[in-house]
């Protein structure tokens, strides 16, 4: 435990450098293609219907296979990542996803395409769990939240690129090239990621402190810091240099222990809240506008303007991640989102409708940057970080299967008022639970958040050579 805290402290004290930006680039590239493939589904399915290769029922099977695969992938990635390491997990899931995408491009019929989509889903669901968690373990505490928001912003640009490339490619070359582009891109990133290091925090949590020490030394050198600087807490050589197995291996049941149950509830809450609000508004707003009497063309135009709030939301989150904090940010923007959701049904002019929709979209993207990108991975100790994130993502996505039916019922019974009431109620419940039991993670080391150890900083320490680790 002392070695793990020391490793974490040394990583948090590093100045931001090329090493961190390169790591962000490799992680973001993999997640970009993952998200790209999720967003191409609409255009591909439309092309399959147009060519007569599929039916509405088979298209529904394609969508269901995607959800099932992503749920299973989120769950398995947590188990594999905590058991075999971050490096194994992020390479394994990206390889599965990449090769399955190539196979999908070569599918002889829709039935094989649905099967390969299920396999692709395993990799896509795993990527979001492993990559956010892995990035959080390398980035210094003072930048961890901001890097999460940058990653979230990069990923969300895939919506534009997938739509634009689909518009260029599908009418002239067919839908298969979309899967080929995603698969080849993912495999290129898979090759480049071979140079990425294993997480020193994970190695230390497994008792492999010698390996962790070697990697941290390499990172320190890359960041221009003298390895073993006296600014770092002193840990006796024999504690830090010898590999020791953890006394009690972490178990899935630990997530429901007295120590972590509040964290688990918090993580599940914010992901159910995010996925519910995101799907209920972003995916359904064009339909709502048409039902309210707008033409299809006008509906798509207004929707485009509303969705421009997404990048702004990510930028707002970047500016506030280390000032307001993730807990306070989730609570604050849940409440702000409620205000605009309640105002939406009363908007009469197109300008006011667009403004409210723009604001709601911005709030959703702020919440996405704070929650799935930063907060959930930070909630759990290193030894169960991916299992915790995987469990929260699995339950969140599982609940998301029910959301279309809930939205349809709310709209059929109460119109747009019913839907925005559901959105407002979800945001209110999220704000209350996070405010009541969620920890604040702003500018705190992962070890401090987990309660595993508290590192006494040099400014607080006495002048003796051995800086204490509590």
Q: Give residue 456's pLDDT band: very low, low, confident or very high (50, 70, 90).
A: very low
Query: For residue 441, what are the CA distances in angstroms to 91, 132, 165, 241, 448?
Result: 28, 15, 38, 30, 9
Segment 103-161, tens digit of pLDDT:
999 999 999 999 999 999 999 889 889 999 999 999 999 999 999 999 988 888 887 78
What whole-number distance in Å separates Cα of residue 318 and Cα of residue 313?
A: 9
Residue 229 has what pLDDT? 53
Smallest CA-to-CA distance from 6 within 447, 458, 384 is with 447
Residue 455 has what pLDDT? 40
Instruction: Write the CB contacts of 258 (distance below 8 Å, at least 6 apart in sequence).
Output: none
Contact criterion met (CB below 8 Å) for 379 and 266 = yes
- Give me the mean pLDDT over the 282-290 stretch: 70
Instruction: Write the CB contacts of 322 (distance below 8 Å, at least 6 apart in sequence).
Output: 142, 143, 145, 146, 442, 443
Contact criterion met (CB below 8 Å) for 89 and 130 = yes
Residue 250 has what pLDDT? 67
Q: Give residue 300's pLDDT band: very low, low, confident or very high (50, 70, 90).
A: low
- Asked whether residue 286 carries a pLDDT value surpassing 90, the answer given is no
Segment 9-26, tens digit of pLDDT:
899 989 999 999 999 999
Q: Which residues pair with 128 in a beta bridge?
A: none
Q: What percent of the chain clears pLDDT 90, i.e. is strictly above it?
A: 47
What whole-number distance in Å separates Cα of residue 63 and Cα of residue 166?
A: 18
Residue 225 has what pLDDT? 86
Query: For residue 436, what are the CA distances in angstroms to 112, 123, 234, 268?
Result: 48, 34, 37, 14
Q: What percent of the chain clears pLDDT 70, i.e. is strictly above it?
A: 87
- Give me the mean pLDDT over the 378-388 stretch: 93
- Asked whether residue 277 carries a pLDDT value surpassing 70, the answer given is yes
- Asked whether residue 453 carries a pLDDT value surpassing 60, the answer given is no
Q: Is 402 or 178 the better-scoring residue by pLDDT?
A: 178
Q: Is 194 helix (H, G, I), strand (E, B) or coil?
A: helix
Q: State the pTM of this model.
A: 0.83
Smallest CA-to-CA distance from 138 within 86, 88, 187, 84 is with 86
- Asked whether residue 417 carries a pLDDT value surpassing 90, the answer given is no
What whole-number distance in Å separates Cα of residue 34 and Cα of residue 59?
A: 20
Instruction: Write the CB contacts of 433 (distance below 8 Å, at least 6 apart in sequence).
Output: 265, 266, 269
Domains delineated in the chain: 2-202 (1.20.1250.20), 252-439 (1.20.1250.20)
Q: Which of 97-106, 190-199, 343-352, 458-467 has the lowest mean pLDDT?
A: 458-467
Across the chain, which distance is largest between two alpha carbons, in Å? 77
Q: Give residue 469's pLDDT band: very low, low, confident or very high (50, 70, 90).
A: very low
Q: Give residue 287's pLDDT band: very low, low, confident or very high (50, 70, 90).
A: low
Contact criterion met (CB below 8 Å) for 370 and 317 = yes
Kind plus residue range of the DSSP H or E element containing 227: none
Kind plus residue range of the DSSP H or E element containing 139: none
Segment 217-249, tens digit of pLDDT:
999 999 988 886 555 554 443 333 334 444 456
Q: Which residues pair with 455 in a beta bridge?
A: 469
- Give me the mean pLDDT over the 77-97 stretch: 90
What whole-number distance in Å separates Cα of residue 149 and Cα of residue 153?
A: 6
Q: Is 180 or 67 the better-scoring residue by pLDDT?
A: 180
Token digits of residue 332 = 């604050």
- Give me the mean pLDDT over the 329-351 stretch: 91
Residue 304 has what pLDDT? 76
Burial of 263 (0-12, 13-18, 19+ CB in 10 A): buried
Which DSSP string corresponds to 250-294?
Answer: --GGGGGSTTTHHHHHHHHHHHHHHHHHHIIIIITHHHHHHHTT-
Quickly tell me which residue has 């919440």 as its tokens: 367
- Give me the mean pLDDT over the 336-347 stretch: 90
What whole-number distance in Å separates Cα of residue 315 and Cα of residue 261?
A: 32
- Give me the mean pLDDT over the 348-357 stretch: 86
| pLDDT, mean over the chain | 84
Residue 409 has what pLDDT? 87
Contact criterion met (CB below 8 Å) for 372 and 388 = no
Q: Which stretch, 54-63, 65-74, 424-433, 454-463, has highest mean pLDDT?
A: 424-433
- Within 10 angstroms of residue 326's Cβ, the number of other Cβ atoms is 31
Under DSSP, the state recorded for 357 is: H
Q: Which stretch, 247-251, 264-268, 342-346, 409-413, has highest mean pLDDT?
A: 264-268
- Within 10 angstroms of residue 358's Cβ, the number of other Cβ atoms is 20
Residue 459 has what pLDDT? 40
Residue 236 has what pLDDT? 41
Quickly tell me which residue has 């480049």 as its tokens: 192
Q: How far is CA 238 from its chain centroid? A: 38
Instruction: Write the CB contacts of 122 (distance below 8 Å, at least 6 apart in sequence).
Output: 69, 70, 72, 73, 76, 93, 96, 97, 100
- Give me the mean pLDDT over the 413-421 stretch: 86
Residue 303 has what pLDDT? 75
Token digits of residue 216 = 């941290």
Burial of 42 (0-12, 13-18, 19+ CB in 10 A): middle
Q: Give residue 387's pLDDT band: very low, low, confident or very high (50, 70, 90).
A: very high
């Amino acid at each position: 435990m002392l070695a793990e805290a020391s490793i974490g402290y040394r990583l948090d004290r590093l100045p931001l450098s090329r090493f961190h930006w390169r790591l962000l680039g490799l992680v973001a590239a993999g997640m970009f293609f993952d998200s790209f493939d999720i967003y191409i589904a609409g255009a591909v399915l439309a092309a399959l219907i147009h060519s007569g290769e599929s039916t509405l029922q088979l298209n529904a099977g394609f969508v269901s296979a995607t959800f099932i695969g992503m749920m299973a992938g989120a769950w398995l990635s947590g188990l594999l990542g905590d058991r075999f390491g971050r490096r194994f997990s992020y390479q394994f899931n990206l390889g599965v996803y990449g090769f399955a995408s190539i196979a999908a491009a070569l599918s002889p019929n829709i039935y094989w395409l649905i099967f390969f989509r299920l396999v692709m889903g395993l990799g896509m669901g795993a990527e979001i769990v492993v990559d956010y968690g892995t990035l959080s373990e390398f980035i210094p505490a003072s930048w961890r939240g901001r890097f999460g928001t940058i990653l979230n912003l990069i990923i969300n640009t895939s919506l534009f690129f997938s739509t634009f490339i689909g518009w260029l490619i599908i009418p002239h070359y067919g839908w298969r090239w979309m899967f080929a582009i995603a698969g080849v891109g993912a495999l290129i990133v898979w090759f480049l990621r071979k140079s990425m290091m294993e997480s020193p925090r994970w190695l230390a949590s497994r008792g492999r402190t010698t390996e962790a020490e070697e990697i941290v030394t390499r990172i320190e050198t890359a960041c221009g810091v003298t390895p073993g600087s006296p600014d770092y807490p002193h840990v006796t050589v024999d504690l830090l240099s010898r590999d020791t197995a953890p006394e009690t291996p972490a178990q899935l049941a630990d997530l429901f222990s007295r120590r972590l149950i509040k964290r688990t509830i918090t993580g599940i809450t914010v992901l159910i809240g995010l996925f519910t609000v995101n799907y209920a508004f972003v995916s359904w707003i064009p339909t709502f506008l048409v039902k309210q009497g707008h033409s299809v063309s006008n509906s798509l135009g207004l929707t485009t303007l509303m969705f421009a709030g997404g990048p702004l939301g990510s930028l707002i989150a970047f500016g506030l991640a280390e000032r307001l904090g993730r807990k306070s940010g989730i609570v604050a923007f849940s409440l702000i989102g409620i205000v605009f959701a309640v105002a939406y049904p009363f908007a009469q002019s197109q300008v006011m409708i667009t403004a409210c929709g723009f604001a709601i979209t911005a709030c959703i993207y702020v919440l996405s940057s704070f929650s799935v990108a930063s907060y959930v991975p930070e909630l759990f100790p290193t030894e169960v970080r991916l299992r915790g994130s995987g469990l929260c993502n699995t339950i969140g996505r599982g609940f998301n299967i029910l959301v279309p039916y809930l939205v349809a019922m709310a709209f059929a019974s109460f119109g747009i008022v019913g839907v925005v009431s559901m959105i407002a109620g979800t945001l209110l419940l999220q704000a209350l639970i996070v405010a009541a039991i969620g920890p604040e993670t702003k500018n705190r080391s992962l070890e401090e958040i987990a309660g595993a150890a508290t590192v006494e900083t040099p400014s607080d320490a006495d002048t003796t050579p051995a800086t204490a680790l509590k």
